[in-house]
A and B are shown apart, each in its own frame.
Chain A
């Protein structure tokens, strides 16, 4: 009990005076907020690179973080549909409810790929607005950064100049990095990969990778043995460069398939923390490209 009281007192005392409290669902948005707000924001990230954004639970620590937040930034496009609405309702924080200035969905500001033409759950756990894994195209990051900087300025007008300046600085560095990445990407064009889930659609779209199939027959549904066998038969002909998965995906089906295809399993970082070298958005793309380049003979 004493420890509890001490913890309560401490958490009251440690509350910052003017920094924005930011609750980021995914690490990539936490990193983007840090780029644009620096010291002006105290960021709590719900997920790690080893947790599936579809499957998180609204656990008590996340309710507590949402309760304190001035800004909730998430991917949207129903990626977090299983837990974000619950967090928002349980926390009782009107500042971050849908429609409030403190509620920012990144996917709202980019063009979505793989928008389903047929909405039916027999197609798996599909997202009506399209594929939500939008952050793996760096141009999307720029678009989202611009909107996010505006939002930060709206929430914290005292520091509007800071956000604008940091945005300019970030976009300049980001564009310079994109030029380098796109030069490197020329060699990767047409590389055939088989991802576990449709997590790399935007990356493939940007780099011109050839996603010939996914290990999952339908999104969110573990592949059956029969599906894997059929897939193996099909892929034996085309010889993909790698079977690709996120750090959080079940390694069993990818390993099974890769072994029989005699191709490597490539674990791409997917987000910040997904690889030991990935500490921010820049190293996320650097490392992703390096890992893909290493695939080539």
Chain B
């Protein structure tokens, strides 16, 4: 009987659910049951709703509690962090400091100090055999205030037992000019070409390519002002101009008011898919040269050049890494072409020279940490017959080299490099072996493109 009653109730309930009241017979007991069921349902619904609401409230409270607990923890932590930094001593504002240690061991057969056909203005050539401490650098950089950023690099160089300290870079840069515009003043690596604005310890080979040695004695460092502007475009486009009052290459001096050299440069670049990226540029450097000497002799001691110098550099870099992830393997192809035309007087003679040079190099990282590279670099001169029999006489075969390198980096901060150079700068060829270490301490250097 009990079973039947439940069945009827069930049927009745189902009938109600589906809106069919006919299932519930009209007899009084059933109507009662129906009412009972409805009451029960209403009661349950209400209770369920109540419970649900309470759960929701509890959940919200729990969430609130959880997030406010988290926030409270954060606030407490912030206070602790604030207190610690607040009590820190005066060195809290110390600039970021990075030290780079570089040294090399070399086996050089024929050493040369000047490339045939070129007026060398400073250090060039493979250097001496044996162990040499290269340039050890100390770099300091930090924001000066809300408008300026400063950077200084000292290079310590050991030459014949004497330590020379050179101020390699000392510049300040604006940080709050209208978007895209940056002005830099002081001693700086010129923005022309590609390799020039890199620190040498970031190079892929131990020495700079021949055109850099021939035209800039390794690197063009300008004393003056640089303005750069990055366009608000999808494609990277950077335009720059520089004025140089410096006494080094390429102008070797300027009069009191006007700069000795000025330059313009433009760089553009972008991505091709996820795996490829490129950058290309063109630069122009104009110098009003005064008394640029040969070699490192002092003024007046050796023949000097005075006149106009115009230099054009075209550069490109192309990089590949699978899916843009260079961690394991990657490849880099890089090249630059230089052409310089000079007109003026040299050692009392009217001269008109046309010189050019280029290098092309490929670096392949074949497993994590290990890279091999090949570079060809050469320079060519058309100095005219006036120099026959002198250092600046044109040579039949362009001075050139082929270099192979293998390097290993254990981390971002250490690198060991072996380099072989087949040197044909002089008429007689030379095989050179070099071994180098580059170690970075302190502030993390940037991964420049």
Which residues of chain A have a CB within 8 Å of any CB of chain B?
4, 7-8, 10-12, 14-15, 48, 50-52, 55-61, 63-64, 67-68, 78, 81-83, 85-86, 89-95, 97, 99, 109-111, 121, 124-125, 139, 142-143, 175, 220-222, 248-250
Known contacts A92-B229, A250-B368; decide if A67 and B179 are in contact (CB<8 Å): yes
Contacts of B278 in A (CB 8 A): 60
| Partner of B448 from A8, A57, A67, A222 at Cβ < 8 Å | A57
Q: Quick check: A60 and B279 within 8 Å, CB to CB? A: yes
Chain A residue, CB-CB nearest to B143: A98
- Judged by a CB distance under 8 angstroms, whether B235 is at the interface is yes
One of B66, B410, B446 near A82 (C-beta < 8 A): B446
In the bound complex, residues from chain A placing their C-beta under 8 Å from that of B181 are 92
Give the contacts of B360-375 with A (CB-CB under 8 A).
368-369
Asked if A60 meets B277 with Cβ closer than 8 Å, knowing A7-B234, A11-B235, the reply is yes
- Residue of B at shortest CB range from A142? B67
> Could you list 24 examples of A-B contacts with CB < 8 Å?
A11-B232, A15-B232, A48-B324, A50-B325, A56-B447, A58-B446, A59-B269, A60-B236, A60-B269, A60-B270, A60-B279, A61-B236, A61-B270, A89-B175, A91-B230, A92-B177, A92-B230, A121-B413, A139-B70, A143-B74, A220-B411, A221-B410, A222-B369, A249-B327
Please encode chain B, from 163 to 179, with 1 for each CB lying within 8 Å of some chain A CB and 0 for all others: 00000000001011111
* CB-based contact B230/A90 at 8 Å: yes
Contact flags (1/0) for B125-140 with A, using CB distance below 8 Å? 0000000000000000
User: A156 to nearest B CB, angstroms?
Assistant: 17
Tell me whether A64 and B228 are in contact in the complex, defined as CB-CB below 8 angstroms, given that A50-B324, A58-B446, A78-B444 are known contacts.
Answer: no
Taking each of A12, A67, A97, A109, which has the highest tally of chain B beta carbons within 10 Å of its own beta carbon? Answer: A67
Given A48-B274, A50-B274, A64-B237, 4 other A-B residues pairs in contact with their CB atoms under 8 A: A58-B447, A94-B177, A121-B441, A248-B325
Give the shortest distance, in Å, between A19 (CB) and chain B (any CB): 14
Interface string of B216-239 (1 = CB under 8 A from A): 000000000000111111111110
Answer whether A97 and B175 are a contact pair too, CB < 8 Å, given A48-B323, A64-B237, A82-B445: yes
Q: Is the CB of B268 within 8 A of A93?
A: no
Interface residues in B248-262 (C-beta closer than 8 Å to A): none
Contact among A4, A51, A175 with B323 in the assembled complex (CB-CB below 8 Å):
A51
Residues of B within 8 A of A55 (CB): 325-327, 447
B438 to A: closest C-beta gap in Å? 15
Cα A125 to Cα B235 in complex, Å, equals: 33
Q: Is the CB of A7 within 8 A of B235?
A: yes
- Shortest Cβ distance from A179 into B: residue: B59
Q: Are A60 and B268 in contact (CB under 8 A)?
A: yes
From A58, A63, A78, A221, name the one whose CB has the most chain B CB atoms within 10 angstroms: A63
* Contact surface of B with A, Cβ cutoff 8 Å: 63, 66-67, 70-71, 73-74, 77, 146, 149, 173, 175-182, 228-238, 267-271, 274, 277-279, 319, 323-328, 368-369, 410-413, 441, 444-449
CA distance A110 to B176 in the complex (A): 29
With A and B bound together, what is the CA distance between A248 and B322 in angstroms? 10
Q: Which residues on A sit within 8 Å (CB–CB) of B236?
A: 60-61, 63-64
Could you say which of B67, B237, B325 contacts A8, with CB atoms under 8 Å apart?
A: B237
Q: Within the complex, what minimum Cβ distance (angstroms) separates A109 from chain B?
A: 7
Other-chain contact of A221, B182, B319, B411 (Cβ < 8 Å): B411
Across the interface, name the chain A residue whose C-beta is closest to B230: A67
Interface centre among B70, B234, B319, B369 (most CB of A within 10 A): B234
Q: Indicate the member of A14, A50, A60, A78 with the most B CB atoms within 10 Å.
A: A60
* B146, B267, B323, B446: residue with the most chain A Cβ atoms closer than 10 Å: B446
- Closest residue of chain A to B275 (Cβ to Cβ) is A50
Contact between B74 and A67, CB atoms less than 8 A apart: no
Which 9 pairs, one residue from A and one from B, show the smallest C-beta to C-beta distance? Answer: A60-B269, A60-B236, A64-B236, A11-B234, A86-B446, A92-B182, A50-B323, A11-B233, A82-B447
Q: A61 touching B326 by the CB < 8 A rule?
A: no
Tell me the smallest distance from the CB of B173 to a CB of chain A, in Å.
7
A4 touches B228 (CB 8 A): no
Q: Taking CB as reference atom, which chain B residue is nearest A14?
A: B234
Which residues of A lie under 8 Å from residue B328 when comparing CB positions? 250
| CB pair A111 B73 closer than 8 Å | yes
Chain B residues with CB under 8 Å of A99's CB are 146
Residues in B neighbouring A64, C-beta threshold 8 A: 230-231, 233-237, 270
CB B168 to nearest CB in A, in angstroms, measures 18
A109 touches B74 (CB 8 A): yes
